[in-house]
Chain A
């Protein structure tokens, strides 16, 4: 009986196109509730999927930046001791020494929200409120000339920001 079931499983797996038989599962996962998922799901898609309520302005963000970011990323995102966050636009061309920053290199502004919220400030990640994240994202975008001083960043405006290097990426394929 086991053998017949196994054979059946093999056939089903092959039909499903996975190419290999899946092991029978003890099925020991517990159903996750929407509440449980909400507290952990911090991924932000390039279309803005997952962005929380709230908003921030560059002016508000400057205060967050001075308090939380300056020590590692320098004045106005100039970098040192850690990564530069601003500048470098136009430095990717042939023969140039590339200066990769949010403004010169990052293709999506949504990534900035995702990354700051999950990983920054390095020594106390996940400590910023969503409003503070929106604000500091707005400030960094302003430093790069991507948005204006009076712009507000929220779940609607952030994915609409067009980053300067948005078209600067090509999908890798082997042998190319």
Chain B
């Protein structure tokens, strides 16, 4: 057998059960051999058509580009609270996206009283409380400050909460896990502004407040505010979208979405947390014993397979790429394992560069689907050594009444017909 001979179709480089292949397969070129066998059948005798758009000039310029009219399904889905129009959440269609960056028009939203129409000329950021000099900043003033970028995910603490349910919701990635997005945020370090104001020694917390009609506010430990926190002015290179906080938002990398206060108008330095509605009655986790966990800030390590996933029916048996997202609010993703047999065996996925702390990491793994039933799962490990738990382990530890911070392993069941369904394994 020559050294260059590719493995036969019947002997794929199986890395785990039920067709899970080695993560290097696509890189070594053997994938082409496996995939090409069926292609020859489709060769046709007719010439390829020369389409009309190849014969006349295309459309003119537009000031702000829009997606193709053929991709209208690549859109957010949303639901509002009863009797309201802008109070609720919209979700990112991860099953139709790839890469690590969420386009601005598809970034998830959670509004507590709609999207305010803020005039940047009159918007102000007030920093006060336990400071030596209370200060007011205009947007224009902040634009002159040195800026930094952070590629960071923002995930609503309520993301994936449907998985606390007893039975698997018959929904897909977007409705279940779509309260997660990742963008490049650029702005001024909050620490720089707090230093301008002069932090008094007694200050241990800040209260951050938005200029929306709900005045959404959260208490944040001063340590985080003086660390990697940003007052973000740009989102993926353009001014932050109104739905994400225009003209400025707080960015607390890794922390639950709600704390990344949009439409930031006020920061008050305090000795203790002010116990706002959204850190007491909401965003706390009721456990089995009746006590609730409070001030759970960072989002735990988590992952989800975005393709295949419900709504994306499988084609013919053969080679597929399993891909998805992994992230941790405690650092960098170190490893993602993928299983096609409900967690009985696992193969390590390839982690696509960039792999950044507090950002989503794209993972990929080749899978040879034999046309039979399969249960697909992914399991993230972050660089602190934390391993994403199974759903049953998470619920055994915390109970099923916590509502927030669900980060258990998600499962997609593939049927013999190629349908992909949400299942519990």
Interface, chain A (partner B; CB < 8 A)? 18-20, 22-32, 36-37, 40-46, 71-72, 81-82, 92-94, 98, 100, 102, 105-108, 110-111, 114-115, 118-119, 122, 125-126, 168-172, 174
Interface residues in B257-283 by Cβ distance below 8 A to A read 265-266, 268, 270, 272, 274-277, 280-281
Contact yes or no, B266 A114, CB < 8 A: no
CA distance A25 to B83 in the complex (A): 46
CA distance A102 to B126 in the complex (A): 31
Contact yes or no, B137 A45, CB < 8 A: no
Which B residues touch A32, using CB under 8 A?
A: 126-128, 134-136
Given the interface pairs A118-B214, A169-B284, the reply to whether A174 lies near B330 with Cβ below 8 Å is: yes
B79 to chain A, nearest CB (A): 13
Contact yes or no, A169 B215, CB < 8 A: no
Chain A residue at minimal CB-CB distance from B143: A28
Contact yes or no, A98 B226, CB < 8 A: no
Which A residues touch B128, using CB under 8 A?
A: 32, 37, 41
Contact yes or no, A100 B189, CB < 8 A: no
Provide the main secondary structure of the chain A interface.
loop
Interface, chain B (partner A; CB < 8 A)? 81-84, 87, 112-113, 126-128, 133-137, 141-142, 144-146, 189, 191-193, 195-197, 207, 209, 213-215, 217, 226-227, 265-266, 268, 270, 272, 274-277, 280-281, 284-286, 288-298, 330, 401
Given the interface pairs A26-B144, A115-B276, A115-B277, the reply to whether A170 lies near B291 with Cβ below 8 Å is: yes
Contact yes or no, B215 A118, CB < 8 A: yes
Contact yes or no, B290 A22, CB < 8 A: no
Contact yes or no, B213 A114, CB < 8 A: no
Contact yes or no, A43 B294, CB < 8 A: no
Contact yes or no, B82 A82, CB < 8 A: yes
| In-complex Cβ contact of A29 among B87, B113, B141 (8 A) | B141
| In-complex Cβ contact of B83 among A36, A81, A100, A107 (8 A) | A81
Contact yes or no, B136 A29, CB < 8 A: yes
Chain B residue at minimal CB-CB distance from A44: B274
CA distance A168 to B192 in the complex (A): 37
Which A residues touch B297, using CB under 8 A?
A: 172
Contact yes or no, B294 A125, CB < 8 A: no
Contact yes or no, A108 B127, CB < 8 A: no
Contact yes or no, A26 B197, CB < 8 A: no
Which B residues touch A72, using CB under 8 A?
A: 82-83
User: Beyond A28-B142, A105-B292, A107-B280: 4 further Cβ-contacts under 8 Å?
Assistant: A31-B133, A41-B266, A115-B277, A168-B290
Which B residues touch A114, using CB under 8 A?
A: 274, 276-277
CA distance A122 to B145 in the complex (A): 36
Chain A residue at minimal CB-CB distance from B289: A94
Contact yes or no, A172 B294, CB < 8 A: yes
Contact yes or no, B137 A28, CB < 8 A: yes
